[in-house]
Amino acid sequence: MTVLLGAYAARSCAVKTHNTFDRSIQPVAGRPDDALAELFDGGEQFEQTVLAELLSTFGGTVADLRGLDQQPWPAQQEACLQALRAGTELVVGGALPPDRSGHRVGRVDLLIRGADQPDGTPGYHPAEVKFHLLHERRPQTTTPRPNSTISYTTFRRPAPAERQQLPGLGFRIGSREADLVQLAHYHRMLQAAGFATTEAIAAVIGTDLTLGQRLITWMDLAEPLVRTFSRRSTDGWTTRSVLERYDHEHAFRVKVAEVAQLRTGNADDPAPLVRPIRTKECDRCLWWEHCLPQLDPADVSLNINKSPLDVREISALRSRGITTITDLADADLGSLLPGYLPEVTHRSGAEDRLRKAHRRARLLSAGTDLVRETSGPIELPAADLEIDFDIETSADLRVYLWGFLVDDRRTPDPPTFHHFSRFADLDARAELELAVEALTWLRSLVEGPDTVRVFHYSAFEVNKIRELAQTSIDPLLDWARGYAEAEFVDLYDVVRQHFFGVNGLGLKQVASTGAGFRWRDDDPGGLNSQRWFLDAVHGETEEVRAQARLRVLEYNEDDVEATLAVRGWLRAPSDGWT
C-alpha cells in the first residue's frame, strides 16, 4: 500500500507516523487529524472569523469549497482541480489531488493565484490561517539580516504581486517554523498537480494586527532561514531553506511508515525506526496511551518538564545507557560530556542544558521540588497599600483585563479585587482607552496620602505598559511607564535570586509548591484564558459568554491572590529555607 502522509506529518512526532501504519498496533478509535487538534486550541473560531473577513473584503473570483467536506475525497479533489483550472483567484478549503509518488495528501486553507506558468497554466500559492502571532520586532541595521523585513499584502489585494515591505518586523521563525513546513507540503503538492508558481512563496495569516489590520504575511520557502544540525559543518550548524527542511523530515517519515507497514505482530518483524520520547505534543495526542506504557515511569523525558531535553538530546543519553532520572542523577558528567556534546551541537548551550537536567534529576530523586539557594531573611519593600497586579491578553496580545488586588496592611480586612475589563474584540484605540481607565485609578491611589507598592510576577506587565506608552501621546501612559519601571516590584526576580525549581519558577509552580496556593480552575493558564476570552466574546449563547467571562475574572483574581500568597510566603520565616 502506498504511504500517503498529510501536511502535519513532517512537523509532528515521527512516532505518530509509525503508530498509524504499524499493523501490529490496535488502531486508536476516533483518532483526529492533527489539524483538528490545533483548531481545538481555539483556532477553529478564529479561522472562520478570518476567512469570513477575507471573503467579505476580497473583490475577485472565489471558490469556497468548505461545504464539500462531507463528500468523498475524490469529489472534493475534483472540485479543487476545476477551480484551479478555471484560474479562480481565491480557493478556500481546497482538497488537493494526492501526490502518490511524493507520498502526500492534504487540504489547504487557501490557495491564492499568483503568476501563471510559462505555458499559461495558472500558478498558485498555499496559505494557512494560524491562531498565534507571527511577527516580532527586529532591530534595523545598515545591513539587513535575512527575514528582518515582513513582506505582506492586504485582504483586499491578497496576491503576492502586490506585496509591500515592513522593515523592523520579522517572522518568528524560531517558534513558527512548523507553519512553514506545513506550507512546504502544500507547495510540493501543487508542483505535483501542475499548479505551482515558479517561486516557492507561501503565506500565513496570524493573530497579529499590524498597521491596524490583519495582514497576509508572505515567506519564501526557498530562502535559507532555518538553522539546523549538520554533521558536515565544522561547528555542527548550517542554514537550510524550509523546503530543504521539509523534504528531509517528510522523507524520514515516509521511511518510518514503510517500515511500520511491514510489522504484523510476528517475532521477525523489523524494529521500529523510532521509539517514544515524551514531548509537548504528547499532551493532546490520542496515541499517548499506547506510547506511555513503553516508557519507564522514571524516564527522563517523562519527569523533567522545565527546559526539557529534546528528542536528539534524549536519544544521545539513551545511547549511553541513561534512560531514567536515577541514571541521570548518578551519571558522572565529566565522563559523559566528551562523547555526548558532539551529538547535540544542534542546541546552543547544550552543556548547560544537561547540567541543569542533571541537577533536576538529583532533586527529583531526593523528592524535592523547590530548593532555597541562599540563607537569611528575604527582604521585600513594604507599604500601606500593597497591590498585586496582573493583566490578561487576547491571542493578538491586546490587554482586555487589568486586575488589581489591594491589600491595606494597616487593617485586618481582606484584600479587595478591582478589575477593568472589556470583553470585546479590541483595536488599538479601545485597548488604550481601557488602559487609561485602569491606570487613572492606579494613579489616584499612588498620589493619595498612603504609601503604595505594586507587585507583579514576571516582566510581562511592565513591558506591556511600556509598549502602550510608546504608541500613545497620552501623558498618563508616560507617567505609568516611569512609575512601573521605577517602583513596581517583580516577585519573579526576587524568587529566582533565592530558589531553584525542578519544574521552573513560574507563578503557578511557586505559588502551589512553595506557598500552598490553589487556583479555583482545574486548568489555569494564560493560553487557556485566551480561549475563554474567545468564548466570552463570541460564544454561541449569552449563557456561554457569561460563564466564560466569569471564568476569566476568577482566573485573574486567583492570579493576583497567588501573588499575594507568594509575598506572604517569602516574608514568613521557615525552618525549611531561612
Would you state the pLDDT for residue 144? 47
Q: Please state, in angstroms and as integers, the Cα–Cα distance from residue 481 to each residue in 345, 469, 473, following that order.
A: 41, 7, 12
Q: What is the pLDDT of residue 34?
A: 59
Would you state the pLDDT for residue 430? 94
24's grid cell: 501490529
Which pLDDT value is given to residue 146?
Answer: 55
Determine the pLDDT at residue 210. 79
Phi, psi angles (nearest 5°) of residue 506: -65, 160
pLDDT of residue 29: 64
Alpha helices in 412-506 (DSSP H): 428-446, 460-470, 475-487, 491-498
User: How confident is the prediction for the chain on average, in pLDDT?
Assistant: 90
Other C-beta atoms lying within 10 Å of the C-beta of residue 27: 11
What spatial distance separates the first Cα and last Cα of the chain, rounded to whole Å?
A: 66
Cβ count within 10 A of residue 380: 16
Distance between CA atoms of residues 507 and 514, nearest Å: 10
Cβ atoms of 285 and 18 within 8 Å: the answer is no
pTM, 2 dp: 0.76
Q: What is the pLDDT of residue 578?
A: 41
pLDDT tens for residues 372-409? 999 889 999 999 999 999 999 988 889 999 999 999 99
Mean per-residue pLDDT pooled into runs of 10, the chain (578 residues): 92 94 81 54 80 92 93 95 96 96 96 94 96 80 58 89 86 88 98 95 91 88 77 62 95 96 92 93 88 95 92 93 96 94 84 94 92 91 96 90 96 96 92 96 95 96 94 92 96 95 92 93 77 89 94 95 96 63
User: Could you say which DSSP state residue 421 is in?
Assistant: E
Q: What confidence score (pLDDT) does residue 229 get?
A: 55
Q: So what's the pLDDT on residue 39?
A: 52
Q: What is the pLDDT of residue 142?
A: 46
